[in-house]
Structure 1
């Protein structure tokens, strides 16, 4: 992402600045729900999960994942009361487990967040290009559409976070509204086979391939963990971050379960698998047209583009803040750890993230990779695996942190919930690794390469930290030290 901090800076710690903003619970929730991209999930992930997963049992998979993430959130939220750092995973793992593990986690986070942004640039470009073509506009290359989005995201990311929140808030509410309208339309008309709760029956959940359904469900939640990243820009981080985390998980889980249930009812529990296999890409859009009208389908097509833009902006902001945190603690050039004088934003991290996204976009375009089946599928799979591994490591870090510091001794908050959350996340991690080839839509060799990239990123961080313990003790001492 950027050059490591030169050795001469190792003995001169950077002045630890903090980011500035006035985010409340609603603002942070907008950011993380936008990152999960409701319309992309309903229009893209759900039909695939219905086709190759457990069919009508998909809604229950979302509820199961929500329960696991709520257990994870108990310790995660409690940790945010004691450590406020834009590095989130990095700082929590550093404080809980060790500095080498924390730096390894930081590198995995940078790879994962950069990968998901690259993935969405591919899907955004293809979606916008296709939409313009359907309107009779000249055929525009997907990468050119992505470049336009990149420029806008770069400008918004450079500015104060409050501007991004306003943009994301409007876009997110629009896509949630159109999905809700579709769901209400299905329920109002009784669906294809009547209203039924069979989707939530254990027998239905365990039919087909429930592991694949759960895997796609957890991928749909990616981005919710960013609540802690915005802690420094919150009005009252010790209250705002925990509340926003719980609200985000509950909203995402319940909403996705509801939308999946409505999609099952739209085609009927006995026929939804066949319908999803026959028309995977257009399943949700066809349901909107059938139960609401042609206008709803057209609106969904437009909002899918804005939904993807919201994801780009959300993850761009996340990466910029990770770079800010690493710069502030002299892991990379200390210039990254200085906020903008007027906007209070991690402006250099934002510029760097724009540059790295541009490089990846050029590579993908020159290589002639398909923006959906290659760029989106590969990169989003890589990111999902990385982020689940980070959440599991964070859960372990939370347990160790409170056991060592005794800052909070409540059994449920510091031991029971985090242990249950860790067990659930390890279960999800095994599912993703086991089905990783399916998730990325590629070969076993490609899956092994992506898994190796994440392992190497972690090992690099561990190796650097271990080396700095003696060669750059001032830098080593600063790792994970900031808490606003």
Structure 2
């Protein structure tokens, strides 16, 4: 059997570029319901809300934006969001087109394996599993800390951050075992409320600007100068993390060849415009000359400070509560993604077979969900027992857990997007579709180069991202976790290729491999 980048399905003509669908339009499996995610659970709206919830709009406006203004001292953050939006839309053209041809819960690693071969796909699979797991676990630090602030402010009770974090982890773990459409409803309600509150603030900021008025100075290209631009791009691209998750749910959507591509482009366009507009509103509220000093003074409290002065203390408190629920929504969204990556890897032999099964009742990838819950509890307990600071100190939950894990995850996702851009080009080139897909391949190439530059800056300035000294071991150890995951994955892929080439050739095929096995079982014996 052929191995490497050539998959056994690629010579077949079963729908667009070898996709396999049943008569109902859903993706079929011949291995039983416990080996397949249930189709037709998500439509365009449900998938879009699930994906956008992972970006945590209020979390970005309240946390990422003030940090970027304060730490990097760059007023032109709105323009950075516009530029990154252009890059990621270019990336999405090729990535979304790939989603029409490959429907697999493994998303990134499935695409990479179909373009660059099963061994590269195995490396990408482990990077994705570690990156999204880190992003999810890190959010519990932010959740726990923000809950303790609210409890202390309103009930005058000092609560250790890890108590609400553990409670949140248990609730998320429970919801992750339920039907994905139930999850989508929860995520959708929370997302719509937090977006509405940010929009209200944006309007208030424009209605009551600083003494400098409604200034467009933040969009002036001339202010994007200095050594901190590369690092600021690293901060800002982390805010986009989540939009690329749409293909993970391909097997659970109606008409995946249409819905997934549509949702990806809608998601990245919305995120870019929403973040650019909201970061601009912050500069209008504080003034272009005052936004950096204000961010340095108030840090993560900047949004609430500016909100209270315009909309009152009650609205600011409501926004703070919705920040907590928004973080909860993001943790649930990332938990779902990790469990589906684990499911896809178990189904294709990259993890034990038990991970490649779903719950009969809900259709959720139960073993993968339990794995992520277990990892979460271990990491939370590790950070809790090593926290020697007084109650209310942000060092362990924010400066370590949230910051370290968030930047590890963002670095991993940036590398995956960079590699996926190359995989898209190779995939269509090997199929002789260069002329038909030329503009998408050019877009993927431009995006890939831009993302590679950002990945290099991320490693170069990682100590700035995590607030460590330039000589700190963390500068190399933390991004090294992603590099190590990729290396281990490549070794696993190479070993699988040598010992079981048939299994290696199925990496990235998902349910299509089941179709081929069924066809082989029904074929007459050539002897």
TM bucket by the smaller chain? over 0.9
1:54–1:208: 8 Å Cα contact kept in structure 2?
A: no
| CA pair 106-281 structure 1, distance change in 2 beyond 3 A | same
Q: Who is 1:462 aligned against?
A: 490
The 5-angstrom pairing of residues 2-151 of structure 1 reads: 15=31, 17-20=35-38, 21-151=40-170
Q: Who is 2:424 aligned against?
A: 398
Q: Does 1:372 align with 2:367?
A: no
Residue 463 (structure 1) shift: 0.9
Residue 137 (structure 1) shift: 4.9
Q: Who is 2:375 aligned against?
A: 356
2:307–2:316: 8 Å Cα contact kept in structure 1?
A: yes
Deviations 1:271-326 (A, max 9, x none): 11111111112111111111222122111110111011011100000000001101
Residue 205 (structure 1) shift: 2.7
Three-state SS of the structure 2 residue aligned to 1:56 is coil
Q: Who is 1:169 aligned against?
A: 188
1:402–1:414: 8 Å Cα contact kept in structure 2?
A: no
Structure 1: how far apart are the matches of 2:195 and 2:438?
34
The 5-angstrom pairing of residues 434-453 of structure 1 reads: 434-443=460-469, 444-453=472-481
Question: What's the C-alpha RMSD, in Å, of the aligned pairs?
Answer: 1.7
- 4+ runs deviating over 6 angstroms: none
Three-state SS of the structure 1 residue aligned to 2:76 is helix
Deviations 1:130-155 (A, max 9, x none): 11111115322211101111111111
Three-state SS of the structure 2 residue aligned to 1:281 is helix
Residue 445 (structure 1) shift: 1.1
Q: Does 1:180 align with 2:199?
A: yes
Residue 213 (structure 1) shift: 2.2
Residue 239 (structure 1) shift: 0.6
Structure 2: how far apart are the matches of 1:254 and 1:373?
29
TM-score scaled by length of structure 1:
0.94
Residue 45 (structure 1) shift: 0.8
2:60–2:239: 8 Å Cα contact kept in structure 1?
A: yes
The 5-angstrom pairing of residues 274-423 of structure 1 reads: 274-368=293-387, 370-406=396-432, 409-423=435-449
| CA pair 298-451 structure 1, distance change in 2 beyond 3 A | same
Structure 1: how far apart are the matches of 2:66 and 2:116?
39
Q: Does 1:477 align with 2:505?
A: yes
Q: Who is 2:453 aligned against?
A: 427
Larger Rg: 2
Q: Who is 1:246 aligned against?
A: 265
Unaligned residue ranges in structure 2 (runs of 5+): 1-28, 388-394, 513-527
Structure 2: how far apart are the matches of 1:239 and 1:413?
19
2:208–2:285: 8 Å Cα contact kept in structure 1?
A: no
Aligned residues: 472
Structure 1: how far apart are the matches of 2:256 and 2:156?
47
48-57 or 126-135, which deviates more:
48-57
TM-score scaled by length of structure 2:
0.87
Unaligned residue ranges in structure 1 (runs of 5+): 1-12
Structure 2: how far apart are the matches of 1:167 and 1:413?
38
| CA pair 483-376 structure 1, distance change in 2 beyond 3 A | same
